[in-house]
Structures are given as structure tokens and as C-alpha cells.
Amino acid sequence: MLSLNARVLLLGLVVCVVAGNSVIFFAGSTESRATLSELVTITAACGAVLLAAAIALRQNIHAPHGKTYLSLAIGLVLWLCADIIWAAYELYYHVAAPIPSVSDILWLSGYLFFAYNLFLTYKEFQVRINKKILLAAIIGNAIFLGYLIPLTVSLSDLSSPAGVAMFLVIIAYPISNAILTIPAIPILFGLWRDKPWSIPWTFKALSLFCIVVTDSWFAFIVTTGLQEHVWLASMLFSAEYLIMAGGLIWYNKFLRTYNNNNGSTAHEPSYNNNTAGKTGKKKIGEEEEGEEVLGATIRIHQHQDQDRSPKKKKRPIDIVVAIVLIALVIGYGTFKSQSTVATQFLLPEDGREANVKIGALIPLTGTLSTLGESTEASLKIALKDINEHFSKSHSDTRVELIIEDTKTDPTIALEKLKYLKSQGVQIVIGPATSSNVAALKDYADQNGILILSASSTATQLTIPNDNLFRLVPDDSHQAQAIAKKMWQDGVRVVVPMWRSDIFGEGLHSALNEDFKRLGGKVVEGVGYKPPTGDFSASLHRINFIFWEQELKALESRLNEEVKRYGADRVGVYIVSFDEIVPIMIEAERHPRLSSVKWYGSDGSALNADLVKNVDAASFAVKTSFANPIYAVDDDKNRRFIEVNRHITEEIGHPHRSYAELAYDALWVAALTYDKVVGANQKTTDHNNINVLSKTLLRVASYYDGITGKTLLNDAGDRISGSYDFWSITRKNDDNASEYEWKRIETFRDIK
């Protein structure tokens, strides 16, 4: 019966871990994943707390296990409270938790009770510590801390009280973990042969391992470059609490039942029974200490030996298998997360078979996911409108749209383009970023694929006679608008900070030339390696360490220019994507950075998370953070207003005009195919890339979409455009914690 119950418990635990982590892993969006991660973790923590509290309440405080499980319950309660506060900061208030915060105090206090729990466990069981295992645990933790502490020092700013506080808090977690891990491992091995006690202790040790990995996660993402996978820590947290709960269930039900069936009471386990002690002494035949060391276990084994075959005396293989399964489940997310959001095949709604396939490469996840969600909504609206148009005009053309997620990653964008090629796609909407476009441009040119991007703007990609077409002007136009805005605001010296990719480098270079042409000065700034994935825009406190060095360098260069020219004549120009949120949160800790005006680019304009986060939004207001975006004369375009409203309703917040440009891009692509495969054309002409290319240019020359005329120049880019500048303001004076984007100025017809 014991073996069957153990299997049921372990199977149930594996199922719970899989189910909980599947909820996190398969979340549809970054925001949903963050919300579900917190909910799953808190739910699992509540279960562990309730089980520990139940055991503690049923124990006499003076019984052998009374204080042991009371200390465990208190520690879990403290951790649960810390998790709830962290969740409130991130999900409700949309701010980063201060460092140190109440959560830090609660969590670190919990370590004291867990340490006491370990001490009582050792004292009650009088476990014989294997010195070799203890030494290995000490050496292993020393090596890890020896690597982690210098790494944290190198990434931290220790010149300010805030920087020192952050360093101490960050490093306190792995040190506390080491203090627990060193004795926990030898205790586990000391109890391993005693099956009833080894099972809950195996759970507890594995749970502790999850905590060690989770609290030290940033060391792994630094060394592996897996910044975008910081969310996996949530899976480990939920697994940790579930595993702990499994051990508590074992003690609360199976172990107590087993001891009672063997003549011991709930409050006096058999290992304290005098008869058991004597039996243990005869069995061991050694010093008096042996009576209390394994007395209970030996008595249990004697009862079992009467009906047990030698084969059944082996170590509990069920536990080993379960541990392996749980480890595989936890590790599954790491490997599976390398894949992207599932391919979407969007077919005509009228039931007609599609004879045209168009692809779309958009960043549904990653550092530009805020643009990806609005683009996805826009393309779905466009596809519906296009097929309805063909139906009403009695055209045989029907369009199928295949949407792929690039994760804002150039490597993945190229892989997805190759997949679209295998599906027979020859016109692709996207990718959204210039770095993604650059990564797949050669492949597209060599394999007869037309790239029609609605938001790629890098000047380096302005190349005639290639397969790239862009429905936006290149960044030379945006740079002119930014330079004029800065000059108009009285800024004469610019300190830049930019993504060191093709987009950031190109826009920074263009701004440098235009601003100097006006008579201004652009000093040496700070370029940073653009991170990938959602981590760069997360509120995870470890993320702020990554921006500390860049902001410290920016502050140093800004100080020099402010001393020389004055704060009113100096400005900061930043080229970024969604990472602008943690950058501005961390910039708030540097008072000098908020003493001048800040200017952004279309990569940060109308960022939804920037107005949600109070700290970031407050900094943006202090610095009059102005951002340009391609402008559309929406007041005169009824269809634009309708599409814009539908997209906003779909995603729940304002968005960049690039979503509407993607709407027009799909129309241009669909009309191109309709012209090529129409009644007056040979059906095989659609396989001829030259025919498609020339037809697309012709369609773009006369198409008048919701964003206006789409006339392209010799390089395949939109000829000219206007730029709106948007800034963040408080919604009203009554509620200082609510912010919104507001259009402050428009520069017309930048050529």
C-alpha cells in the first residue's frame, strides 16, 4: 500500500508541475505570461503554506517535529507574503519594487526559519554527516559564490548608496541559499537509506535546488546570453512550491499513517521509542549513539523484512524516476522556448479556397512585441477587408495569410523566411526591424522573395533594384525631424545613447549629420548591445543591473557637457525599442540624468508599457521625453479612423501608425497578386519575380490607402512623409499615477 501511495503522490506531483508550468509556458503574450506566472506561483505557495500550517497545528510544540514544522510553516508564510507584494508591484502598480523592499525583508527573514528547520532536523535525527559529501557541498557553493560575487560587483555601481543597496540585496539571496544548501545536501544523503524519511527530504532538497537556481538565475543568463528566458524563473518558483507541497503531503498522510500502523504515535515517531532504540543497538552493534540515530528506521525495516524479498530492499527507484521526470519538465521550457509562437494560417472567411499565399514576419515577442501585437491585429483586419473586396468585385483571387513570429531576433527571422519559402510564399509583409530585414535580405534577393516592410527605416538598406520595398521613408527623414525639434527647443549639445544595431547606428549617424548641419554638437555617447527577447523590457530587478553600466557612462558624459554649456542647452537622444522602460526606471536613480531634456525615436514612441509604469512615466515627464513617429493625416481619412479604432479595441491601448502601414502593405501585396494572376495574365506569371516586382511598384504608385498615397522612390522606399512628436503627460492632476501619450507637434513633408 505504501508503494502504491508513493507512486500516486509522485505522479500527482509531476502532473501538477506540468500543468502549472504549461499555463505559464503557453501564455499567449508577454503580459499574460507575467500575470499567469505570478498567479501560479502564489497558488502553489498557498498550497505549501496550508500543508505546513496543518502539520504544525497538529503537532505538539514540544513533540520531536513540533518546532521543526512550525519553523518551516513560518518561513513559507514569509515567502508567500513576499511573492504577493512582488506581484502587486509588477501587475497592479506597474512599477519596479524598490531595493531593498518589504519583499526583500520578508524573503530574507524566511531563510532564518528554514535554517532553524535544518538545525532541528539534524538534531532530531542525529544524522551522521558524511564528511566527503559535506566537503563537496562546501567546495561547490564556494566555487559558485566565487564566480557570482565578482560578476555582480562588475555589473554593479558601488559609487552610490542606491547602487550599494542593490548589490547587497542581489547578492544576499545566493549567499543565503548557500548557507542552506551546504547542510541540506549531507542531511539528505544521511537519510537516503531510510525510505520513509528520505522521501519528504528528497522533495525538500529538490525544492531547495529550485530556489538556488531561481535566485541565482541572472548568473546563468549572463553567461549563456539567455536574457529573454528570465521568465523561466517563474516556472522554477512554481515547481519549487509544488515539490515542497509534495513532501509535506507525504509526511502529513503517508508517513504518519505508516508510523501509526507500526505502533508509534503521531507525536512520538518510532525512532524515539526505547524498544526501537534497543533494537537499533543490537542491530548496529556499535556505540550508544546508534540507538538514537537509526532506531526508528531499523525497527521499520525489521517489520518490513518479514514480508519483503531482497529485491524490495533496494532504494526507492520511484523517487529517482520522479525526480528525473520533474527535472525534465522544468528543463523542457528552456529548450522549447527556443521555438516561437505557433504559425497562424488565416484563410478566407467565405469558404473559398485561397489561390494566393502571403507571408507576414512580425515580432509577437521580443524587444518590439508592443509593435507586433498591433501589427497582427491590423493584418487580420486587412485580410478580411481584402477578401471581401475580391468577393464583391467578382475576382477569383482569395488570399491566405501565414503569420510567423520573429521574436525580434534576426536569426529567427531568417529561419521563418525559409519556412515561408517552402510554403510557396513570394511576398512577405515585414519584418518590423531593420536588423531583421538586413539578416534575410540576401536570401530574399537570391531566392525570388519580395520583402514589403511597414516599419524598417535604416538608411543602410536604401538600395535600388533589390527585392526590398518599404512603405515608410528611411531614417534620413526622421533624423531631420528630430534635429529640427531639438534645435527648436534650444538644445545645442546632444549626448546620444543608442542600440548598436543597423537601426540604431544608422539613425544615430543621420542625426549626427543633420544636427551638426544646423550648428549643433553631438558628443561621444553610449552605444549598447541590443538585448533580445522580453527580458529587456521586463520589471525584473536583475534586469536593472544590465543597464547600470551604460547609464553610469551616460551620466558621466552628460555631467561634462552640462558643466560646460548648462542643462537647458544639453539634451539626451536615445534610440531604443521596448527596453526604454527599464532604462528610464533605472535612470530615475541618477538625478543628473533627469536635469536635461530627452528625445527618442520611432522605436520608443507610443510605447504602452512606458505609460503603465509609474517610475518610467514619471522620468519621461520630468525630461519632456519627445518621440517622433511617421504621421498620417488621420483627421481627413474615415477608413483610417475606423481601422485605428478596431486595432485599439483589439489590443487595449494606443499604438504606432506602423500598424496602419502594415494594413496598406497587405493591400498592396494582395492587389499585386490580383493583377498578376487575373484574367488578363498567364497564371504562371506569378512565379516570375520580375513580373511581381514590377507589378508591385506599379500598384504602389497609384494605390491610395488609409495612410495616403504609397508612391515609392527608386530604392523602393516611400518618397516622403510627415512626423508627429508624442510625449507623456499626466492624465489629470487628481491622479498623479496615471499617464498617457499626447501628440505635441507635427513636422510636415520631410523630404
| Amino acid code (one letter) for 554 | L
- Asked if residue 143 lies in contact with residue 178, where contact means CB atoms within 8 angstroms, the answer is no
Burial 213-238 (b: 16+ CB within 10 A, else e): bbbbbbbbbbeeebbbbbbbbbbbbb
- Asked if residue 220 lies in contact with residue 226, where contact means CB atoms within 8 angstroms, the answer is yes
- My answer on whether 405 and 459 are in the same domain is yes
CA dist., res. 204 & res. 192, Å (int): 12
From its phi and psi, is residue 518 left (phi > 0), alpha (psi between -120 and 50) or beta? alpha
Number of domains in the chain: 3
- My answer on whether 578 and 510 are in the same domain is yes
Q: Comparing C-alpha atoms, which of 89, 107, 106 is closest to residue 98? A: 89
DSSP 620-641: HHHTT-EEEEEE--GGG-HHHH
Q: Is residue 169 included in any domain, yes or no?
A: yes
- Asked if residue 663 lies in contact with residue 647, where contact means CB atoms within 8 angstroms, the answer is no
Q: Comparing C-alpha atoms, which of 315, 273, 278, 271 is closest to residue 293? A: 271
Final residue belonging to a domain, choices 319, 336, 353? 336
Q: Could you identify the residue written with the cell 542625426?
A: 511
CA dist., res. 55 & res. 53, Å (int): 5
Residue 718, classed as helix, strand or coil, is strand
Specify the pLDDT at position 142.
92
- Asked if residue 91 lies in contact with residue 111, where contact means CB atoms within 8 angstroms, the answer is no
**How are beta strands 708-709 and 399-405 bridged, if at all?**
unpaired
CA dist., res. 521 & res. 369, Å (int): 34
Q: Cα(first)–Cα(last) distance of the chain, in Å?
A: 82
Specify the pLDDT at position 284.
35
* Whole-angstrom Cα Rg for the chain: 31
- My answer on whether 316 and 357 are in the same domain is no
- My answer on whether 581 and 667 are in the same domain is no
CA dist., res. 352 & res. 333, Å (int): 39
DSSP-assigned letter for residue 63: S
Contacts of 295 (CB under 8 A, 6+ apart): 270, 271, 272, 273, 276, 277, 279, 280, 281
Q: Is residue 662 included in any domain, yes or no?
A: yes
- My answer on whether 213 and 329 are in the same domain is yes
**Count of helix runs (H) and strand runs (E) in the chain:** 26, 16
- My answer on whether 321 and 356 are in the same domain is no
Q: Is residue 444 included in any domain, yes or no?
A: yes
| Amino acid code (one letter) for 318 | D
- My answer on whether 506 and 530 are in the same domain is yes
Specify the pLDDT at position 278.
35
- Asked if residue 738 lies in contact with residue 620, where contact means CB atoms within 8 angstroms, the answer is no
Contacts of 412 (CB under 8 A, 6+ apart): 340, 405, 406
Query: What residue numbers bound the domain in which 665 lies?
Result: 344-471+635-722
Q: Is residue 279 included in any domain, yes or no?
A: no
- Asked if residue 230 lies in contact with residue 221, where contact means CB atoms within 8 angstroms, the answer is yes
Cβ neighbourhood burial of 29 (10 Å; 0-12, 13-18, 19+): middle
- My answer on whether 607 and 703 are in the same domain is no
- My answer on whether 359 and 319 are in the same domain is no
CA dist., res. 378 & res. 369, Å (int): 14
Side-chain-side CA neighbours of residue 640 (13 Å): 21
Q: Could you identify the residue written with the cell 563537496?
A: 136
- Backbone torsions φ then ψ of 688, nearest 5 degrees: -90, 110
Contacts of 414 (CB under 8 A, 6+ apart): 439, 440, 443
Torsion of CA 95, 96, 99, 101, to 10 degrees: 60
Specify the pLDDT at position 414.
96
Q: Is residue 299 included in any domain, yes or no?
A: no
Q: Report residues of the chain scoring pLDDT below 70.
A: 1-34, 59-65, 94, 125-127, 191-199, 212-213, 215-234, 252-342, 532-540, 542, 634-636, 678-687, 733-736, 751
Q: Comparing C-alpha atoms, which of 252, 128, 264, 285 is closest to residue 191? A: 128
Specify the pLDDT at position 375.
95
Q: Comparing C-alpha atoms, which of 189, 209, 207, 206 is closest to residue 198? A: 189
Contacts of 260 (CB under 8 A, 6+ apart): 266
- My answer on whether 132 and 217 are in the same domain is yes
Q: Is residue 297 included in any domain, yes or no?
A: no
- Asked if residue 47 lies in contact with residue 248, where contact means CB atoms within 8 angstroms, the answer is no
Residue 538, classed as helix, strand or coil, is coil
Q: Is residue 316 included in any domain, yes or no?
A: yes
Specify the pLDDT at position 369.
83
- My answer on whether 402 and 514 are in the same domain is no
CATH number at residue 356: 3.40.50.2300
CA dist., res. 310 & res. 290, Å (int): 24
- My answer on whether 602 and 656 are in the same domain is no
CA dist., res. 341 & res. 170, Å (int): 32
State the cell numbers at 587. 535612470
Q: Is residue 292 included in any domain, yes or no?
A: no
- Asked if residue 526 lies in contact with residue 553, where contact means CB atoms within 8 angstroms, the answer is yes
Q: Comparing C-alpha atoms, which of 506, 718, 735, 505 is closest to residue 611? A: 735
CA dist., res. 456 & res. 247, Å (int): 53
CA dist., res. 387 & res. 378, Å (int): 15
Q: Could you identify the residue written with the cell 525631424?
A: 481
